[in-house]
Structure 1
Amino acid sequence: MKKYVASLAFLTVAFSGFSQKYEFQTVKDLECEPVISQGQTGTCWSFSSTSFLESEIYRINGKHIDLSEMYNVRHTYPKKAWNYIMRQGNAQFGEGGLNHDVINSARDFGIVPVSAFSGMTEGQKAHNHAQMVKELDALVKENAKKPDPAWQNKVDAVLEKYMGKDVTGFTYEGKTYTPKSFLEMTKLKLNDYVTITSFTQSPFYSNFILDIPDNFSYGKMYNVPLDEFIANINNALDKGYTLALDADVSERTFSGKYGIAVVPQNEADEKLILTEIKPEKEITQQFRQAEFENFNTTDDHLMHIVGKVKDQKGNVYYKVKNSWGSDPEKVANGGFVYMSVPYMRLKAISVMVHKKALLSKTKKELDL
């Protein structure tokens, strides 16, 4: 009888070892503003980067400021329209963008709190750009054939119709600001932010333009080996710096519903791995590159890395702030996604971070 009970106990432990539900424990948790929703828009690039800047403001001066994501969007659309029309339609025009587009917008036009510019018209409760994008798309396509001298005014009119009037001055906490003086008040130094990536079509430690559709502004990124790319993410978090992330979320094993992003070693585990710990694939530089070149990895979505967690087996995951809201009926973990190291190695297109957060070796190689 004792032998039977012991055998049963052994089988129970063995079985649980192969099918353990995730139990997460915090490893590193950095300050960020609450998860919000980008609504029916393709503006994750602004939500990601704006959240990143909010965390930077807190890191620099301890202030919690809810910045306007849509202020950056409103000032980026005219740039997209110019690029498309002046290239006579031989360019990308859409809702997408990258982290550096918010930095460029802030540099040119400053930043504002959401209380000064919500990006919504009277009575609107959620962001929805479907009709606005439809009208802008028709406008730029028409003007790419034969430009109307007033096309820029027409673009602005559409933006004002759906997002509201531009902001030139406002009051915040009893003080009057312009968007540029507000930026100055936050003490953000925009030239301190760099984007790093890891692909082999350009030499490592070069500064190159990554050829992806949403890089309409032809922003440059620093290229580093994959192991060093991940080491820099870890170094930044360890030093108290968050990172803005561009990644591929088209995989079935990226799930907002379950709050997990993983790369199963076996395809048969694709479903189970969303709720149970399963072995993950080893990601090499060569495999990452192949998946990028065959379009299995594309820049689908931008988010914000704000910490780390680990499961009961010691596997580490990055805590990634998403912009799909926090409704527990739709998303897990309050709207955060726990992204495994293999997923980050394979599916992260790039990260933007303060240059002081980089490894000394990387800064030296990049001459930063």
Structure 2
Amino acid sequence: MYSQEFKVAPVKIPVQQAYNFTPIIDIEASEIKNQGNTGTCWSFSASSFIESEIFKNTGQLIDISEMYNVRETYNAKAWNYVMRQGKAQFSEGGLAHDVLNSIKLHGLVPESAFTGFMTESTSYDHSKIVPEMQIILDNFIKNDKNSKYPNWKTSVDSILDIKLGKQPENFGYNGLFYNPKSFLEMTKFDPDNYVTLTSFLHVPFNSQFILNIPDNFSNGLFYNLKLNQLVEVTDIALKNGYTLALDCDVSEKTFSSKYGIAVIPNKIEEQEKCLTYIVEESNISAEFRQQEFENYNTTDDHLMHIVGLVKDQNGNEYYKVKNSWGTNSDRIGNDGYVYMSKPFFKLKTISVMVNKKALNEDLKKELKIQ
């Protein structure tokens, strides 16, 4: 008889690491606002982006009015709906280029000149505006001879005047008087200096096309890049001091405003854990991205503003994304910002808007951008 002692190697249990972020790039941006009960994230995102561009141009951080361009865009959406005889989406939604389109036609105003509040309220609520306008538009489209609204433009304007206010013709700012066009000139912001970039497989790369998503009512054009190019352009823009307006999907459980994080865990059972601890993320291919877009798992449901880059203690990089859901809530963490991993960005980004100057010359030549 004899005994033998067996030595069992200890099992290494991975240590859970709570996120610890270090800034890499942090570009000047205005304070976080709250879009309230509205679908106007497109204006809050684009306006914040424009504020950073104005700061880059002038050194002034100007609080511009989101609702001025929302009001003008509601008129444009109404016209589109009527001319398409009701066979188009009519909603609060839009895209960043709609703000640029509004600025080209109607100029720009500061928040102090047009708040979009007609009462003492400080919280936006547009839940009744679009339904009220749609009743008028549908009535006109049906060509009802007994219609109360033979002149739908006047009726729509009346609703917007009551709910949001009349557009200012002249206003004071820092001791000087402006109109919307002269104020735009003072900011040195040129809406023609911007392009929208995306990455999909159903159109050729380096081509320009109309992306068929519901909120693209104005038929805005997108430049199509390879997926890795889209990430590279975003990184280079940030490194050169340019921010980007972001259109993306935030319906995933792993996008959390409460924890201020957006990631794509490799294991589905880590969907909750990944909100507070570093996990291995999925490797996102262009094919999988396209599949998720075509089956509606990726939709254009929210726009935000990329203002920087951070890294965790393992060296993984995340975009610092400014949201528009405020800061004073138990559902809002990270001071209202969301740190978005590059896998999440690759899978869930619809598009980014950026200054043409942020693109390298070779890319501009490939895309035929002047």
> TM-score, length-normalised on structure 1?
0.95
CA distance in structure 1 between the aligned counterparts of 2:203 and 2:321, rounded to whole angstroms: 28
1:103 and 2:104 matched: no
Q: Which residue of 1 aligns with 2:242?
A: 241
For residues 141 and 26 of structure 1, the distance between their equivalents in structure 2, rounded to whole angstroms, comes to 51
Q: 1:249 is matched by which residue type in structure 2?
A: V
Alignment of 1:69-148 (within 5 A): 69-146=66-143, 148=149
Structure 1 counterpart SS, 2:310: strand
> Residue deviations 1:196-222, cap 9 Å, x none?
000111111111000000000000011
Residue number in structure 1 paired with 2:199: 198
More helix by share: 1
User: What is the distance in 1 between the residues matched to 2:301 and 2:229?
Assistant: 23
Q: Per-residue CA shift, 1:129-153, capped at 9, x if unaligned?
A: 1122221222222222228541001
The match for 1:4 is none
Which string of whole-angstrom CA distances, capped at 9 and with x for unpartnered residues, describes residues 319-357 of structure 1? 000000012522111100000000000000000000010
Cα distance between partner residues in 1 of 2:172 and 2:37: 29
Contact 2:140–2:150 (8 Å) recurs in 1: no
CA offset at residue 86 of structure 1?
1.1
What is the aligned partner in structure 2 of residue 286 from structure 1?
Answer: 287
Determine helix, strand or coil for the equivalent of 2:62.
coil
SS at match of 1:102: helix
Partner of 1:179: 180
Which whole-Å CA distance do the structure 2 matches of 1:165 and 1:284 have between them?
48
Structure 2: any 5+ residue segments left out of the alignment? 1-7
**What secondary structure, in the 3-state scheme, does the structure 1 residue paired with 2:128 have?**
helix
Q: How does 1:176-325 map to 2 (within 5 A)?
A: 176-325=177-326
Aligned to 1:89, the other structure's residue is in SS state: coil
SS of alignment partner, residue 115 of structure 1:
helix
State the partner residue of 1:341: 342
Q: C-alpha distance in 2, partners of 1:163/1:261?
A: 34
Query: Aligned partners of 1:338 and 1:328: how far apart in 2?
Result: 18
Give 2:290's aligned amino acid: Q
Kept after mapping to 1: 8 A contact 2:171/2:177: yes
Match of 1:3 in 2: none
Question: Is the 1:29–1:308 Cα contact (8 Å) retained in structure 2?
Answer: yes
Structure 1 residues 91-110: Cα deviation after superposition (integer angstroms, max 9, x where no partner): 01000000100000000000
Distance 1:317 1:279 in 2: 14
- Partner of 1:128, secondary structure, is coil
**What percent of counterpart residues are identical?**
54
- Distance of 2:227 and 2:360 partners within structure 1: 14
Q: Is the 8 A contact 1:245 1:305 kept in 2?
A: yes
Equivalent AA in structure 1 for residue 292 of structure 2: E
Q: Distance in 1 between matches of 2:345 and 2:164?
A: 34
What residue number does 2:57 align with?
A: 60
Per-residue CA distance 1:276-331 (angstroms, 9 max, x = gap): 10111000111110110011000000000000111111110000000000125221
Paired position in structure 1 for 2:3: none
AA paired with 1:171?
Answer: G
SS at match of 2:25: strand
Runs of 4+ displaced beyond 6 Å? none
Q: Scaled by the length of structure 2, what TM-score is found?
A: 0.94
Deviations 1:171-204 (A, max 9, x none): 0001000001000000011111000000111111
Amino acid at match of 2:68: Y
Letter of the structure 2 residue corresponding to residue 99 of structure 1: A
The 10-residue stretch of structure 1 (276-285 or 323-332) with the greater mean CA deviation from structure 2: 323-332
How big is the alpha-carbon RMSD for the aligned residues of Structure 1 and Structure 2? 1.5
Question: 1:328 touches 1:334 (CA, 8 Å); kept in 2?
Answer: no
Matched with 1:33 is 30
Map of 1:20 onto structure 2? 17
CA contact (8 A) 1:84 1:144 kept: no
Q: Tell me, what secondary structure is at the counterpart of 1:349?
A: strand
For the pair shown, which has the larger CA radius of gyration, 1 or 2?
2
Correspondence for 1:350: 351
CA distance in 2, matches of 1:252, 1:361: 38
| Paired residues of 1:87 and 1:144 also in contact (CA < 8 A) | no
Q: Name the structure 2 match of 1:158.
A: 159
Query: How many residues are matched?
Result: 358
Offset at 1:59? Answer: 0.8
Letter in 2 for 1:94: S
Deviations 1:24-58 (A, max 9, x none): 11010000000010001000000000000000000
**Aligned residues of 1:54 and 1:65 also touching (Cα < 8 A):** yes
**Corresponding residue for residue 5 of structure 2:** none
